[in-house]
Amino acid sequence: MPAALVSDTAPRSPAIAARDLTSDLSLSGLELRQLLDLAADVKRHPTRYASALRHRYLSLLFEKPSLRTRLTFELAIKQLGGDAVSSIGPIGDREPTKDIARNLDRWTNAIVARTFLQSTIDELAEWSSVPVINALSDLYHPCQSFADLQTLEERFGGLGGLKLTFVGDGNNVAHSLMINGARSGMHVCVACPPGYEPNSAIVDQSTLFARESGGSITVTQDPLAGVSGAHAVYTDVWTSMGQEAEASERMKIFAGFTVNSRLMSAASANAIFLHCLPAKRGQEVTGEVIESAQSAVFDQAENRLHAQKALLLMLLS
């Protein structure tokens, strides 16, 4: 009997109960698992989903410059059969944010916003009748963390029991990694200088998730101890957009938190290096590490496309 042919018809995508993705907390643990499974299938079988969101359109609102986030959302909706329009600049300056939301929801099927403040995301969601997706705020970067977890699963075959150490500023990327890593049974450690710890409420929430999943959350001021035995070492720029006035002071404070070969040698023998990009070589990471065989930064960047396709399918299909 001939082998069965693989169908090019996209399977029914699981749905997200929440109307919006304002933060990682908009997803349940089960929905996160479903998103990662769907992202893997989308990556393996892109043609199955080529028309899944035909005639669906995104509004992209970007207060901050972007390469990966903006282009991967544009490509994601187009490769799923839809399209996108974009606006770059401050949100709420020329007209109230609530009016922007009520214009865009008449024209498009979802709003993707990359903002300085989480409150801007929340206000858009309050006034929009279509889904609002947090493409980055000062508190969360959920779409990045979905791609990060997908990359870790590809490298290690699963997430439960893995140790991931984030070295540097306890910022939005660290917050999302703690939440989603804890839900996935991972041991997430954040190593940062005093005064630059992650948001305490997010640490507490992530700790509760970790207790349920068998993972753990640790915050330390010792990067070498934090990296010890890690399966993945992650870092981000020391000065994010909007913090430029602090750059000189941060350079001094974070001087001992560069991810270099010495730090990587304390990690597991098969450890990988992760970075959300763009990277400042010679500051938070050395060129030797980011260009090494351990580096998975471009796998992460690629997976932004697949994870965001999965997110759009779950919200819009």
pLDDT tens for each residue of 45-72: 999 999 999 999 999 999 999 999 999 9
- Tens digits of residue pLDDT in 226-255: 999 999 999 999 998 788 888 899 999 999
- Tens digits of residue pLDDT in 66-106: 999 999 999 999 999 999 999 999 999 999 999 999 999 99
| pLDDT level of residue 2 (50, 70, 90 thresholds) | very low
Domains, the chain, in order of start with CATH, read 24-141+304-316 (3.40.50.1370), 145-300 (3.40.50.1370)
Residue 276 a catalytic site member: yes
Q: Is there a contact between 234 and 177 (Cβ–Cβ < 8 Å)?
A: yes
4 pLDDT more than 60: no
> Looking at residue 258, what is its pLDDT?
98
Residue 141 a catalytic site member: yes
114, 231, 250, 306: which one is catalytic?
A: 114
Buried b (16+ CB within 10 A) or exposed e, 74-95: bebbebbebebeeeeeebbeee
| pLDDT level of residue 5 (50, 70, 90 thresholds) | very low
Strand partners, 74: none
163 pLDDT more than 80: yes
Asked which of 7-21, 125-139, 194-208, 265-279 is least confident by mean pLDDT, the reply is 7-21
175, 187, 231, 304: which one is catalytic?
A: 304
Structure tokens at 52: 């899944």
| pLDDT level of residue 225 (50, 70, 90 thresholds) | very high
Please give the single-letter amino acid code of residue 274.
L
> Looking at residue 9, what is its pLDDT?
66
Sign of the torsion angle spanned by Cα atoms 53, 55, 56, 61? positive
Cβ-count burial of 294 within 10 angstroms (0-12 exposed, 13-18 middle, 19+ buried)? middle
| pLDDT level of residue 28 (50, 70, 90 thresholds) | very high
Closest CA to 10 of 57, 56, 50, 54: 50
Structure tokens at 263: 């730090």
pTM: 0.95
Chain centroid to CA 232: how far?
15
Q: What is Dmax (Cα atoms) for the chain?
A: 70
- Tens digits of residue pLDDT in 103-155: 999 999 999 999 999 999 999 999 999 999 999 999 999 999 999 999 999 99
3-class DSSP state for residue 189?
strand
Mean pLDDT of 168-192: 98
144, 283, 300, 308: which one is catalytic?
A: 144
> Looking at residue 242, what is its pLDDT?
80
Strand partners, 62: 88, 114
Residue 34 a catalytic site member: no
41, 122, 169, 236: which one is catalytic?
A: 236
141, 183, 187, 250: which one is catalytic?
A: 141
> Looking at residue 93, what is its pLDDT?
95
| pLDDT level of residue 12 (50, 70, 90 thresholds) | confident
Residue 144 a catalytic site member: yes
Question: What residue spans of the chain are helical by DSSP H?
Answer: 29-44, 68-79, 97-107, 118-127, 142-156, 172-183, 200-213, 223-227, 247-253, 261-265, 287-290, 297-316
